[in-house]
């Protein structure tokens, strides 16, 4: 729907005084500006800007959503090693996504305050004065690959080690593995793994890289790598020509490389371009970076090939930079009992956080009706919940090794023959699973299970996190039971019963029995339930890695989701469990 009236005008028409203010600001700085384009909401100015004893040309582009979004400023009259886009000349006047742009600022004032600074930074870096440069600029690396991301092939990716081992030679063969992402196979998007770059001759002892727990069918893919000196072009065809020339030179000395010099006849091959780049801030922050070219033979056109750029992604320790506590979780083992509406999200977040091993236990199946509050949808209907989560987590979070068991905890039998046919004592099986874990999480929402598991965990000195929601999703509770602390779950239940600890809110009308079911369930969605799930995860991580993340001193916490006048605004309260003198835990 086209907007009419004031709402349909471009910013310079709607706020003509704002456009004039931009012109006035340029004039006040001794610069002359003129409009060169006003197409499709983009206003572009050409500016003659005084710089020292000369005048340079700046091209200033305003966003259609000016003044809320920052402008872009480019120039071909400066060639800066840093703070300038190497291909289009764009100047980095503000840190991306930093919130440093303010709509009341005029573009001329921004240029005046920042341009001289970034020119000075480049001078200081060239002189080796990194301390002086660091005082003036954001201390972050500026890799070339980030400038090429916009021209890369959509939906394809090459995964590589965080610090790939690359020979110091000029090139050689490379090992790739690939999975297709469409029925077009080699002629469509793909996911590839750079397993190894090898030297042109001689042995290379670096181990091959692979994804943990690789899933699906992978195929070997022909590849090569070449080390190129900068500056590099942004055109994939030009990059491929440089790689071809490098291999032609290598092949003069090593006949084994001659097959790599020929134009690709395979449906798909990958050429890795290795070049020195800024990877870390500082004088020693340069190292090997990689660009990837997908080279496809054109069907029916022998000798013809098409070349596209494919983005490379580092896989491994990079995630620890974003979540430092993950390093402490890599060796931790968690037993999760109950994979329903609360436990399923707990499983996802623990895997996302990088817990080393996660054992899933539940007896239920994924039903279509569960989709309103279960994280996985249509492809998993009818599967055991633990099998569905195991498959999804192994595929998407391979650093967490998952295992699963379909088990109804605490089930009783009245048939002697059925009991005799069991392969073992279910209590001992549960004890063994608890003993192998560093932490147990009970998301079964069953008082019977929670009390039994709490007793076993106390016997085996394993910490336990228990969580559940109340009827109608009016509230919930999360309890952390640490073996070294006084008080137990039975004590807390007594306090709840007596009113010495307030129960979380309950909406007794929020219970239904869906058609075809023989058990009632509660109403509500995951957007409320996840409040409980997330607190269980935070508690678990604090107990697993207390040296990195403070777990807090509380034993119980209750959630009120429904406040005054029915408003849903989560509010938590917490406290410690005071042991009951009549409870066995106080005599332990």
SS3 per residue for 124-155: HHHCCCHHHHHHHCCCCCCCCHHHHHHHCCCC
Residue 447, exposed/middle/buried by CB under 10 A (0-12, 13-18, 19+)?
exposed
Specify if 179 maps to a domain. yes
Residue 1 has pLDDT above 60, yes or no: no
The domain boundary residue, chosen from 299, 316, 333: 316
Specify if 346 maps to a domain. yes
Q: What pLDDT does 273 receive?
A: 95
Q: What pLDDT does 563 receive?
A: 72
Span 284-301, mean pLDDT?
Answer: 87
Q: Are residues 466 and 348 part of one domain?
A: yes
Q: Which residues contact 238 (CB under 8 A, 6 or more apart)?
A: none
Residue 46 has pLDDT above 90, yes or no: yes
Of 89-98, 132-141, 188-197, 532-541, minimum mean pLDDT range: 89-98
Q: Are residues 150 and 110 part of one domain?
A: no
Specify if 415 maps to a domain. no
Q: What pLDDT does 274 receive?
A: 95
Span 335-361, mean pLDDT?
Answer: 97
Of 89-98, 206-215, 228-237, 418-427, minimum mean pLDDT range: 89-98
Separation in Å, CA 497 to CA 408, 493, 503 = 28, 6, 8
Specify if 372 maps to a domain. yes
Region of 19 on the Ramachandran plot (φ > 0 left; ψ -120 to 50 alpha; else beta) = alpha
Specify if 292 maps to a domain. yes
Q: Are residues 305 and 246 part of one domain?
A: yes
Q: How confident is the model at residue 3 (pLDDT cuts 50, 70, 90)?
A: low
Angstrom distance (rounded) from CA 444 to CA 340: 8
Residue 139 has pLDDT above 90, yes or no: no
Residue 553 has pLDDT above 70, yes or no: yes
The most distant pair of C-alpha atoms in the chain lies apart, rounded to whole Å, by 100
Residue 240 has pLDDT above 60, yes or no: yes
Angstrom distance (rounded) from CA 481 to CA 487: 8
Residue 299 has pLDDT above 80, yes or no: no
Q: Are residues 112 and 186 part of one domain?
A: no
Of 514 and 406, which is predicted with more confidence? 406
Whether the upstream peptide bond of residue 231 has omega within 30° of 0, thus cis, is: yes
Residue 588 has pLDDT above 60, yes or no: no
Of 98 and 393, which is predicted with more confidence? 393
Q: Are residues 168 and 121 part of one domain?
A: no
Q: What pLDDT does 510 receive?
A: 64
Angstrom distance (rounded) from CA 407 to CA 361: 6
Span 16-42, mean pLDDT?
Answer: 95
Element housing 569 (H / E): strand 568-575
Residue 259 has pLDDT above 90, yes or no: no
Angstrom distance (rounded) from CA 187 to CA 266: 11
Q: How confident is the model at residue 100 (pLDDT cuts 50, 70, 90)?
A: confident
Angstrom distance (rounded) from CA 529 to CA 557: 15
Span 117-122, mean pLDDT?
Answer: 92
Q: What pLDDT does 419 receive?
A: 83
Domain assignment of residue 280, given as a range:
145-316
Q: Helix or strand or coil: residue 225?
A: strand
Q: Are residues 9 and 90 part of one domain?
A: yes
The domain boundary residue, chosen from 316, 335, 354: 316
Of 288 and 564, which is predicted with more confidence? 288
Of 388 and 8, which is predicted with more confidence? 388
Identify whether the C-beta of residue 405 lies closer than 8 Å to the C-beta of residue 361. yes
The domain boundary residue, chosen from 316, 338, 371: 316
Q: Are residues 173 and 88 part of one domain?
A: no
Residue 97 has pLDDT above 60, yes or no: no
pLDDT tens, position by position, 375-409:
999 999 999 999 999 999 999 999 999 999 998 88
Q: Are residues 115 and 232 part of one domain?
A: no
Specify if 405 maps to a domain. yes
Name the phi and psi angles at 545, rounded to 5.
-135, 60
Angstrom distance (rounded) from CA 214 to CA 396: 10
Residue 515 has pLDDT above 90, yes or no: no
Q: Are residues 170 and 277 part of one domain?
A: yes
Q: Are residues 266 and 206 part of one domain?
A: yes
How many structural domains is the chain composed of?
A: 3
Q: What pLDDT does 2 receive?
A: 53
Q: Are residues 68 and 174 part of one domain?
A: no
Name the phi and psi angles at 112, rounded to 5.
-60, -35
Residue 25 has pLDDT above 80, yes or no: yes
Q: Are residues 304 and 330 part of one domain?
A: no
Of the ranges 44-58, 269-283, 298-312, the best mean pLDDT one: 44-58
Q: Which of 492, 494, 496, 468 is nearest to 481 (CA)?
A: 492
Angstrom distance (rounded) from CA 381 to CA 403: 20
pLDDT tens, position by position, 445-466:
999 999 999 999 999 999 999 9
Residue 98 has pLDDT above 60, yes or no: no
Taking the alpha carbons of 195, 201, 203, 204 in that order, is the dihedral positive or negative? negative
Angstrom distance (rounded) from CA 273 to CA 223: 11
Cα dihedral 115→121→122→124 (10° resolution): 140
Of the ranges 382-391, 422-431, 520-529, the best mean pLDDT one: 382-391
Query: How high is the mean pLDDT of the chain?
Result: 89
Of 29 and 409, which is predicted with more confidence? 29
Q: How confident is the model at residue 433 (pLDDT cuts 50, 70, 90)?
A: very high
Angstrom distance (rounded) from CA 588 to CA 583: 9
Q: What pLDDT does 10 receive?
A: 93
Specify if 38 maps to a domain. yes
CATH number at residue 132: 3.10.110.10
Residue 145 has pLDDT above 60, yes or no: yes
Q: Which residues contact 271 (CB under 8 A, 6 or more apart)?
A: 223, 224, 225, 226, 240, 243, 292, 293, 295
Burial track 503-520 (b if 16+ CB lie within 10 A, e otherwise): ebbebeeeeeeeeeeeee
Specify if 501 maps to a domain. yes
Q: Which of 68, 80, 164 is nearest to 122 (CA)?
A: 80
Q: How confident is the model at residue 4 (pLDDT cuts 50, 70, 90)?
A: low
């Amino acid at each position: 729907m086209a907007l009419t009236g004031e709402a349909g005008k471009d910013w310079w028409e709607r706020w003509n005084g704002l456009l004039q203010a931009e012109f006035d600001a340029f004039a006040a700085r001794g610069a002359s500006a003129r409009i060169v384009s006003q197409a499709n909401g983009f206003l572009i100015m050409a500016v003659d800007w005084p710089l020292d004893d000369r005048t340079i040309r700046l091209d200033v582009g305003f966003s259609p959503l000016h003044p809320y979004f920052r402008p872009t400023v480019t120039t071909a009259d400066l060639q800066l090693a840093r703070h300038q886009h190497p291909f289009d000349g764009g100047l980095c006047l503000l840190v991306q996504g930093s919130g440093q742009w303010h709509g009341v600022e005029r573009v001329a004032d921004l240029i005046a305050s920042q341009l001289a600074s970034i020119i000075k930074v480049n001078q200081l870096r060239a002189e080796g004065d990194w301390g002086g440069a660091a005082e003036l600029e954001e201390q972050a690396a500026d890799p070339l690959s980030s400038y090429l991301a916009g021209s890369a092939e959509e939906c394809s990716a090459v995964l590589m080690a965080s610090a790939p081992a690359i020979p110091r030679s000029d090139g050689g063969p490379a090992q790739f593995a690939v999975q297709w992402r469409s029925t077009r196979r080699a002629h469509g998007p793909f996911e590839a793994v750079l397993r190894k770059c090898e030297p042109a001759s001689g042995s290379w002892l670096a181990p091959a890289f692979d994804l943990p727990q690789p899933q699906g069918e992978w195929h070997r893919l022909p590849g090569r790598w070449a080390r190129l000196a900068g500056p590099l072009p942004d055109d994939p065809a030009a990059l491929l020509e440089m790689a071809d020339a490098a291999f032609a030179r290598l092949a003069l000395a090593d006949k084994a490389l001659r097959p790599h010099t020929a134009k690709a006849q395979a449906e798909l091959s990958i050429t890795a371009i290795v070049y020195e780049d800024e990877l870390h801030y500082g004088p020693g922050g340069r190292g090997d970076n990689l660009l990837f070219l997908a080279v496809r033979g054109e069907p029916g056109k022998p000798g013809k090939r098409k070349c596209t750029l494919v983005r490379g992604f580092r896989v491994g320790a990079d995630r620890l930079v974003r979540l430092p506590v993950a390093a402490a979780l890599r060796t931790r083992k968690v037993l999760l009992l109950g994979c329903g509406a609360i436990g399923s999200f707990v499983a996802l977040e623990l895997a996302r956080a990088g817990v080393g091993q996660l054992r899933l236990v539940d007896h239920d199946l994924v039903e279509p009706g569960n989709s309103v509050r279960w994280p996985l949808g249509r492809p998993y209907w009818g599967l055991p919940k633990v099998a569905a989560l195991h498959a999804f987590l192994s595929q998407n979070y391979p650093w967490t090794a998952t295992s699963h068991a379909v088990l109804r905890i605490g089930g009783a039998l009245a048939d002697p023959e059925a009991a005799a046919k069991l392969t073992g004592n279910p209590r001992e099986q549960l004890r063994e699973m608890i003993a192998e874990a560093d932490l147990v999480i009970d998301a079964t929402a069953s008082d019977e299970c929670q009390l039994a598991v709490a007793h076993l965990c106390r016997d085996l000195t394993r910490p336990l996190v228990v969580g559940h929601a109340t009827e109608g999703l009016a509230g919930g509770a999360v309890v952390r039971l640490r073996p070294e602390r006084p008080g137990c779950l039975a004590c807390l239940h007594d306090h709840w019963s007596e009113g010495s600890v307030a129960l979380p809110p309950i909406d007794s009308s929020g219970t239904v029995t869906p058609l075809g079911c023989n058990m009632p369930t509660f109403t509500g969605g995951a957007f409320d339930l996840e409040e409980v799930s997330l607190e269980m995860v935070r508690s678990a991580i604090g107990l697993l890695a207390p040296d990195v993340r403070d777990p807090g001193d509380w034993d119980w916490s209750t959630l009120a989701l429904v406040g005054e006048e029915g408003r849903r605004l989560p509010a938590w309260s917490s406290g410690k469990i005071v042991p009951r003198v009549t409870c066995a835990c106080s005599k332990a």
